[in-house]
Amino acid sequence: MARYKTYDYRQRVLLPVSLEDQLMPGTLEFAIHTLVETRLDMSIFEGKYRNDETGRAAYDPKVLLKVVLLAYSRGLISSRKIEQACRENVVFVALACGQQPDHSTIAGFVSSLRDEILPLFRDVLLICEEMHLLGGTMFALDGCKLPSNASKEWSGTVAEFRKKKEKIEVKVAQLLEEQVQADRRQDEPPGPRGSRQQQVEKLQRKAEQIGQWLTENQPKIGAAGREKQSNITDNDSATMMTSHGAVQGYNSQALIDAKHQVIVHGEAFGDGQDHGHVPPMLTGALANLQSLGHKPDYFKGKILTADSNYHTQVNLQECQELGLDAYIPDRKFRNRDPRFATQKRRQVRRFTLKDFRHDEVLDRYICPDGKVLKLAVKRVLTHGHLYRKYLAAEEDCQGCPLRPRCIYAAGAKRKMLLVPFGESLSRQMVEKIETAEGRRIYPQRLAIAEPVFANIRINKRLDRFTLRGKIKVNIQWLMYCLVHNIEKILNYGLAYA
């Protein structure tokens, strides 16, 4: 008969573990531990605590910061998952020095970093500067849209919310009336009555939530002067279109140095359009770089690349004022790229603004068929640019033989001509991108920006924000940017490898 080694799960085992030995040089946890202990200014947390004489001893912010940074690097964004890791994962146990903060402590710590996250980010950026990881000659700006802890079903205008509240109240009244009728007949079994009561209470809570929101908030007005959709669960977020459909979330932006792809500034915006993101991103980056000792004219003569979503008058104007050598193409620049000339395209050439003759005396345009387009709007904001709008008469366009070359918008009944207002920075940028130098520089954006977002979204598995409100979401985004930069220090800064 075969013999096996005996085992007994009731047996107690004492495992000698050196916590310090678990943090091996060359690993990210070692880099995080070393930086937090020796280089980051943790005195910024002292003002939050008032327990020097009375009260319970608090968890050291160093321990909490290390644990959260390592968790984010491994795709653990849930505070409950981080709590579990501090109990079961030996690396987290070592980094927390055997302490086991619960999920509420971890979540509260992250949410409270409003005033501390930017100084911490700048401390890490200073280390990158000291190790010559910043090239300081070329930058790329890009962003990714991520869902937040909010439901897009709770989005709408103020009028829509009022209508929804009224419909809920009507439904509640209907259910209560049905209950009264059932009580009079005394023929309703106890099961359905209980479910109806629960349904009534649930609807009443929704109506109260909508009513409270309406009393505390005002309509959100967009750049065009029209009301935008609000959100009851997180009014700082916005409904954004992505390649995977619509999400309710934030547009996470990062300005990246080209040399080693270090993030010099990051910020989350509750606006899916990039039409106005260049000014706040450059302002934030300039503040970070000035904290490292650079001058206010740091960006003068430096190169900035961004995709066509940033091609607006506001963004181009900011680049011009800062002296940036920007390369931000318009949406149609690929159609003009000679490298795509061999691809099959429509044989019919469409009319452009150059095909319309401008009558400067009467300020009107003459179309190729000789019809007149009159000035309709002197100043209109479209996609971040100012235009003058000219319209043709509807009867002139209905039977026009040149209509297929002139009107190509679905459902359009007449020609609308948008003429750039005043001096157009857009036209200057288009001409700049068309040059050989522009065609050479702009494609470098992909190699600078895309790997950064791939690292954060794929390797770090950031697929959503768990907090609500721009301030807290921005903390989470900067924490991920901070982890990304620490990895750069680990990979290229030999002192921490």
- Same domain as 323, residue 274: yes
Domain of 306: which CATH number? 3.30.420.10
Percent of all residues in the chain with a pLDDT value above 90, rounded to a whole number: 63
- Same domain as 394, residue 325: no
* Confidence grade of residue 496 (pLDDT, cut at 50, 70, 90): very low
Is residue 174 pLDDT above 50, yes or no? Answer: yes
436 is a domain residue: no
Better-predicted residue by pLDDT, 183 or 209:
209
- Same domain as 136, residue 248: yes
* Confidence grade of residue 408 (pLDDT, cut at 50, 70, 90): confident
52 is a domain residue: no
pLDDT in tens, 79-99: 999 999 999 999 999 999 999
- Same domain as 144, residue 163: no
182 is a domain residue: yes
- Counted domains in the chain: 4
pLDDT in tens, 109-138: 999 999 999 999 999 999 999 999 999 999
- Same domain as 247, residue 134: yes
Give the per-residue SS3 of the chain.
CCCCCCCCCCCCCCCCCCHHHHCCCCCHHHHHHHHHHHCCCHHHHHHHCCCCCCCCCCCCHHHHHHHHHHHHHCCCCCHHHHHHHHHHCHHHHHHCCCCCCCHHHHHHHHHCCCCCHHHHHHHHHHHHHHCCCCCCCEEEEEEEEEECCCCHHHEECHHHHHHHHHHHHHHHHHHHHHHHHHHHHCCCCHHHHHHHHHHHHHHHHHHHHHHHHHHHCCCEECCCCCEECEECCCCCCEEEEECCEEEEEEEEEEEEECCCCCEEEEEEECCCCCCCCHHHHHHHHHHHHHHCCCCCCCCCCCEEEECHHHCCHHHHHHHHHHCCEEECCCCCHHHHCHHHCCCCCCCCCCCCHHHCEEECCCCEEECCCCCEEEEEEEEEEECCEEEEEEEECHHHHHCCCCHHHHCCCCCCCCCEEEEECCCCHHHHHHHHHHCHHHHHHCCHHHHHHHHHHHHHHHHCCCCCCCCCCHHHHHHHHHHHHHHHHHHHHHHHCHHHC
pTM above 0.85, yes or no: no
pLDDT computed for residue 35 by the predictor: 96
pLDDT computed for residue 497 by the predictor: 44
Residues 231-247 have a mean pLDDT of 91
Residue numbers of the domain that contains 185: 158-218
13 is a domain residue: no
pLDDT computed for residue 414 by the predictor: 87
- Name the range with the highest mean pLDDT among 13-22, 206-215, 384-393: 206-215
- Same domain as 24, residue 103: yes
Give the count of alpha carbons within 13 A of 26, CB side only.
1
pLDDT computed for residue 387 by the predictor: 78
